[in-house]
């Protein structure tokens, strides 16, 4: 099952445990899958990525 199917339209997605250097690639993949309003927070080499699923 695709990750986008777990989030309702307008719902929030939170991904943690991501290496900060991988955040741009993951953001691009989720943008292509229908997510927007990305925020990336980093702490040393780790990143937390949040996004909202398009309506």
Are 30 and 12 within 8 A, CB to CB?
A: no
How does DSSP classify residue 22?
A: G
pLDDT at 33 over 70: yes
pLDDT tens-digit profile of 45-55? 999 999 999 99
Tokens of 52: 């909202």
Tokens of 2: 């695709």
The pLDDT value given to residue 30: 94
How long a stretch of residues is the chain?
Answer: 55
> pTM of the predicted model, to two decimals?
0.84
Burial of 35 (0-12, 13-18, 19+ CB in 10 A): buried
pLDDT tens-digit profile of 1-27? 466 678 999 999 999 999 999 999 999
């Amino acid at each position: 099952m695709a990750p986008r199917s777990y989030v309702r339209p307008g719902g929030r997605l939170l991904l943690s445990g991501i290496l900060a250097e991988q955040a741009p690639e993951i953001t691009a993949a989720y943008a292509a899958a229908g997510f927007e309003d990305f925020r990336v927070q980093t702490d040393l080499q780790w990143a937390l990525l949040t996004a909202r699923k398009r309506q």
